[in-house]
Amino acid sequence: MQPQMRHRIGSITKTFVATTVLQLVDEGRLGLDDPIGQWLPDIVPGEPGSQVTVRMLLNHTSGIGNYTNAMIDSYGAINQMQVTTYAPADLVAMGLAMPPTNAPGASFNYSNTNYVLAGLLIEAVTGNGAAAEVQRRILRPLKLTGTSFPGNDPTIRGPHGGAYFAPFGVRDLSEFNMSWAWTAGEMIATTADLNTFFRALLGGDLLSPATLDEMLNAVPMLPEMPEAGGYGLGIYSLPTPCGVFWGHDGAVIGHLTYSMHSRNGARQVSSGINISHYQVGLPGPHPIDIAWHTFLLTAMCPASEMNSRSIEAVPQLPSVTRMPGNDAAVAVP
C-alpha cells in the first residue's frame, strides 16, 4: 500500500453525491423539502414518495430499508455480486420491499437505498447521468484525476492495492463490478484527492454558506448518545479529544477508508487499508485495528494521550452490517 494508490472509497461516495444534490438546491432546481415522489413518481409511488423528502434521503431519516442488508445474506452472495450488473431501480425496489425502519423523518437509520435514490434524483433533475454530473461539478473543477466512477468496469485503473476479505483467505477481490453500490458507494479515489475535495467542501468552494450550513446540520446517529456524533447531509461529525471533525468512512469488500477533517481544514487525514480482517467476529480489537485507529487519532489530535478511551473515540464504521445467522460483519458502502 502506498499513499498515491487508488482505492475503493465506498460510502465516501455519498459525500460527493450529496454535494451534487445540494448544488442543485443552490441553483433553485430542487428543494431539500421536496417529496421525492415529485421527481421519481414511477420509482417511489404512494406514501414513501409523498412523505419522504430529499433531506430525509441525505441524512438517512427516510425510514426506507437498506437494500444491501437483503442482498448480502451469505458469502455466496458476494460471489454473485462480483460479476453482476445491477440497475439502480432494481436496487431501490429491494429497499422499498423491506419493512420501514422508522416513520419518515423520525430517526437516523443508515440505508444505501437513500443514496441510490439521490443518484436517480440527480438524473431526473438534470437529464444527465449522476456520475457525469459529479464529474462535471466536482472532479473536473478540483482536478481530482485519481477519482472516478467505474460503472460496471470491475478493474481499478492505475496503481492500487489488493482487496482481501478474510473469509476468502488470500483471495484478492479488487476485481469487482461495483454497480451494486452505484451512487451509494461505487467511487474510486486517492487519499490526496479526498483531502482536496473535503478541503474545498468545508472551505465553502462548492456550496453557498447557507447550503453548507444545512449540510452540517446533523441528526444524532445514536439518539441515546447524541454526543457520539451526528449525520448531516452526506457527511458526519466525529467528536475527538481535540474537537469535532467532519467527514465520512467507506467500507466495501476488502477496502476500508476514513476521511476526516477539522472544520477549518487545518487538519486532515484520509487513510485506507485493504483487508477486511476485523469483520470475522473476533472477540476483541485486532492489533491492526488498534494501530490504524491510533494513527487516525494521532493525525487528528497529535497532542492527545493514546489510551484505550482515546482509541475508542474513532467509531465503528456506520456502514458495517451483520449477516443474518452469522457472527461475521460485512462491510458495505
Is residue 216 predicted with pLDDT exceeding 90? Answer: yes
The pLDDT, as a whole number, for residue 167 is 64
Strand partners, 326: none
* C-beta of residue 115 within 8 angstroms of C-beta of residue 57: yes
Is residue 332 predicted with pLDDT exceeding 90? Answer: no
In this predicted model, which residue has the larger pLDDT, 312 or 239?
A: 239
Query: Residues of the chain with pLDDT > 90: what percent?
Result: 71
Is residue 312 predicted with pLDDT exceeding 70? Answer: no
* pLDDT tens digits for range 233-249: 999 999 988 899 999 99
Residues 6+ apart with CB under 8 A from 239: 227, 228, 229, 313
In this predicted model, which residue has the larger pLDDT, 289 or 309?
A: 289
Residues 6+ apart with CB under 8 A from 202: 212, 246, 261, 263, 264, 265
Q: Domain 7-331 belongs to what topology?
A: Beta-lactamase (3.40.710)
Q: Please say whether the dihedral angle defined by the alpha carbons of residues 41, 45, 50 and 51, taken in this order, is positive or negative.
A: negative
Distance CA 242, CA 255 (A): 28
Domain ranges of the chain: 7-331
Strand partners, 273: 256
Distance CA 186, CA 129 (A): 14
* pLDDT tens digits for range 150-198: 999 999 999 999 998 766 666 889 999 999 999 999 999 999 999 999 9
Residue with cell 463490478: 177
Distance CA 58, CA 114 (A): 7
Strands (E), 119-194: 188-189
Long-range contacts of 141-146 (CB under 8 A, 24+ apart): 142/193, 142/196, 142/197, 142/200, 143/196, 144/189, 144/193, 144/196, 144/197, 145/193, 146/4, 146/6, 146/188, 146/189, 146/190, 146/192, 146/193
The pLDDT, as a whole number, for residue 319 is 54
The pLDDT, as a whole number, for residue 169 is 60
Strand partners, 252: 255
Is residue 110 predicted with pLDDT exceeding 80? Answer: yes
Known catalytic residues? 11
DSSP state of 19: H
Distance CA 38, CA 262 (A): 36
